[in-house]
Structure 1
Amino acid sequence: MRARGFGGGVNDLFTRFGDSARMSIIRTALGALALSAILAIPAAVTAVAQPDYRACFGQIRGQAQQAGVNAATFDRVMESVTPDREVLEFLDRQPEFRTPIWDYIAGLVDEERVEDGRRMMQRHQRELAAAEERFDVPATVVAAIWGVESNYGQNMGKRPLLESLSALACEGRRQSFFRSELVSTLRIIQNGDVPASDLRGSWAGAFGQTQFIPSTFLRVAVDMTGDGRRDIVNSVADALGSTAAYLSRSRWQSGLRWGYEVQLPGGFDASLAGRDKKRDIDFWRQRGVRMMDGATLPGSGVRAVLLPAGIEGPAFLVSRNFDAIYSYNQAESYALAIALLADRIAGLPGIQTPWPTDDPPLSRAERREVQERLIRAGYDIGDVDGIIGSKTREAVRDMQSRLGMEATGRAGGKLLQAMRER
């Protein structure tokens, strides 16, 4: 499973969509009422409010006690919780826009994030070195996850976990999963690891500088400072050490590269590609796969060929350590972004093969420029943050129409150039 489950993390990228109209009748009716007040709501009111949080919390209270959360902790913490029903919209929302892999990578592995990563490597050299020494996972990989998940601790999410998880635990799909995560959150509070007020994150409950879901935190997080607390929100050392611990548990192999870009021969059979189609490296040598400089593939062991954009795009030969990164957030695009960012932070070159598109992807700085130009043109898109969310895409479509371009809603190099020349 993903270190965060699903939802959280990558908080500064277009994989997180904008908020919608706030609250429904439950939020309006309950306001900031304490749990005791909820229990006293007249039947006429509770009949309108759906679901019955009184009954749901009662069920969770029993489950929490079975998991080791004492009644006093449950009552003290939950009495002031108002479920945030807005998160239910995210649970079933299907993205209207599928992000091309080149846009995804460009937004996560740009010069800005690379340079920030190198600075943070220097600033937190001691913490990263301690994590690497203890868990034998490269500091650059840990730093890359930190950079992608929260922009090096700058964007950890703002939604109170208790409010989000209490709504998801009582309504919608996967209530059993979210009840378990809510109980895990209560255990974190009871253990004294992270104060309840600091438990803020994504709509689905991921929190901290490297975005763990509560159950993963309980299972994996470590105390690197020796203060008796595992605080991945306020302690950089604990966050980085916990991330290294996660990768170590995911069978990270010391001294083995995650992979590298390769050349494919003409006529290569694309059906051989796939992260789960690992073959001995001799198999790939015999089929003409070579290093980017034309050299023979080095080493031994099993590898897989990855074609994230198809046979016309870049090709990568990946090892089991790519799978360890993949386990953190089960998406190949995510794992590739982490791997490439780690390489760039370490001073290695980026992707050499062009992506199969004639409309180049934009960096975060370029996306901010698109947003600034849209605002100057009169569009209300919210903050200039480099996140191409629904409001920005809607404005992009309109601008593309005005410029005589196909109205795709995608902000690419052609649009930016046309806006600059406008």
Structure 2
Amino acid sequence: MKKTSRLLTTLAAALLCAAPARADFASCLAGLRHAAAAAGVSARTIESATAGLEPNDAPSFMDKQPEFKTPIWDYLAGLVDDERVEEGRALMRQHGAALQAAEQRYGVDPATVVAVWGVESDFGKNFGKRSVVQSLATLACEARRRNDYFRGELIAALKILDSGDIAPQEFYGSWAGAFGHTQFMPSTFLRTAVDLDGDGRRNIASSAADSLGSTANYLHKSGYRPGLRWGFEVRLPDNYSGPSGRTARQPMSAWASRGVSRLDGEPLGDGSAALLLPAGPNGPAFLVTRNFDAIYSYNAAESYALAISILSDRLRGRPGVQGAWPTDDPGLSRAERREVQALLSRHGYEVGEPDGVIGTRTMQAIADFQGRAGMRADGRAGRKTLNALRDR
């Protein structure tokens, strides 16, 4: 009886807490609806998009973005692997006409555009499953920071629905409200989306051509220069202690005078570049140009921009990263991550169907296995864990 009483008390307390939260969200949403109307969104669109809207879990993801949390060797290993390169090359052939039209119009080469596509949504296979309107309304009302930003994005999202470019049943994306093949935020869509396939709609949710053209236009508007490489890997002199950082751009001659050289032995060339050291002076080094900055503007993370840049080189037939990362436990490709999951299942762990995504269940299983194997139980899917699983 006491147990039942405690349970009822707990449920009552939860309901009391939930009621003010729902009321606060409803009040905030009402304000957002008024702001959207003032911005010119039709009453019909506002009502159909927000009627009965409840908050979702979007705010819980704000501090979990992998490009800021994951070691660079893990991040690149999963995004720039042989599978993605092979599929990207096939799609470059399949969508050759659209990519050529986009390059002619905006000056951005096919490999760069397709690399963005691959990193952003795995070539359209992972758009995200959350309602864009619901996520943005939740973030505008309940996020711990950047509420004004998400408020603006919500109004932009409602304008997109009002225009008819994207149908409501297609308007799903990431926790942050990015959507479509190349994951545009709504305000970015309004500024840069284009109708490359000529059907009268700028539809990056269901038209690959519109997505590729819109991405090329975005990069063009961000300062991408035709014919300029994003950068290249370089060799540093021993005990290098000179300047570095994406914003510290200097003439190529200045880098050459400091003993920085290309891995292939070719001259550094003309123009200017910045020295990027994503893992410090003991890891791979890159001289990056203003085209790297244009790619960086897409998501404001150096690891993200480097993934797109390296993938674009791989799509062109160039090598990936040549230098060794400063770790004795390199990252795994998606195929190798699927192998980790399959081996864990064989050892009795319930991790679901191997998909190469290292989620909570997989991390917990890895940590348990590592502990039993006398390894550091950090839950990371690295080379050492894969080898240990293979040996058991």
Taking structure 2 as the reference length, the TM-score comes to 0.91
Which of 207, 212, 216 is equivalent to 1:235? 207
**How many angstroms does 1:417 deviate by?**
1.0
Give the structure 2 partner of residue 189 of structure 1: 161
Normalized per residue, which structure has more helix?
2
1:156 partner amino acid:
F
Contact 1:141 1:339 (8 Å CA) reproduced: yes
Residue in 1 that maps onto 2:6:
none
Tell me the distance in 1 between the aligned counterparts of 2:171 and 2:119.
Answer: 19
Q: State the aligned residue count.
A: 378
> Among 327, 331, 347, which residue is 1:377 paired with?
347
Q: Alpha-carbon deviation of 1:175?
A: 2.6
Q: Taking structure 1 as reference, are residues 380 and 112 closer, same or farther at Cα in structure 2, changes over 3 Å only?
A: same
Q: What is the percent sequence identity of the aligned residues?
A: 54
What is the DSSP-based 3-state SS (H/G/I as helix, E as strand, rest coil) of the residue aligned with 1:316? strand
- The match for 2:297 is 327
Higher mean C-alpha deviation, range 126-135 or range 160-169: 160-169
User: What is the aligned partner in structure 1 of residue 229 from structure 2?
Assistant: 257
Retained in 1: the 8 A contact 2:25–2:55? no
- Is 1:408 aligned with 2:365? no
Please, which moves more after superposition, 331-340 or 173-182? 173-182
Where does the alignment leave 5 or more consecutive residues of structure 1 unmatched?
1-24, 30-43
2:126 maps to which of 119, 142, 155: 155
Instruction: Give me the whole-angstrom Cα distance separating, in 2, the residues matched to 1:118 and 1:325.
Output: 20
48 and 303 in structure 1: CA distance in 2 versus 1, 3 angstrom threshold: closer
Any gaps of 5 or more consecutive residues in structure 2?
1-10
1:221/1:379 CA distance change after superposition, 3 Å: same
Cα drift, residue 242 of structure 1: 0.5
CA contact 1:51–1:170 (8 Å) conserved in 2: no
Could you tell me how far 1:161 is from its partner in structure 2?
1.2
**Aligned residue in 2 for 1:119:** 90
The correspondence for 2:365, drawn from 380, 385, 395, is 395
Checking the alignment, whether the CA contact within 8 Å between 2:130 and 2:175 is kept in structure 1 is: yes
Counterpart of 1:8?
A: none
Would you say the 8 A contact 2:92–2:99 is kept in 1? yes
Deviations 1:87-128 (A, max 9, x none): 232235588x94211111111000000000001111111111
C-alpha deviation, 1:277, in angstroms: 0.9
Deviations 1:123-173 (A, max 9, x none): 111111111111000110000000111111111111111222222222232
Q: What amino acid is the match of 1:180?
A: G
Q: For the Cα contact (< 8 Å) 1:156–1:200, is it kept in 2?
A: yes
Question: Larger relative CO (CA 8 A, sep 6+): 1 or 2?
Answer: 1
**CA distance 1:93–1:244, change in 2 (3 Å):** closer
Judge conservation of contact 1:263–1:294 (CA < 8 Å) in 2: no
Report the TM-score when normalising by structure 1.
0.85
SS for the counterpart of 1:272 is coil
Out of 337, 353, 377, the position equivalent to 2:323 is 353
Task: Compute the RMSD of aligned alpha carbons.
Answer: 2.1
Which shows bigger deviation, 159-168 or 212-221? 159-168
Q: Distance in 2 between matches of 1:93 and 1:284?
A: 36
Structure 1 residue 203 and structure 2 residue 175: aligned? yes
Q: Is the 8 A contact 1:83 1:164 kept in 2?
A: no
**Matching of residues 106-185 of structure 1 within 5 Å:** 106-173=77-144, 174-185=146-157
Aligned to 1:282: 253
C-alpha spacing 1:120/1:360, structure 2 compared with 1 (3 Å): same
Q: Any idea what the Cα deviations from partners look like across 1:65-107, whole Å, max 9, x if unmatched?
A: 121102222123322x432332232235588x94211111111
1:344 to 293, 314, 323: 314
Relative distance call for 1:322 and 1:139 in structure 2 (3 A) is same
Q: Residues of 2 paired with 1:75 and 1:293: CA distance?
A: 60
Residue type matched to 2:100 in 1? Answer: A
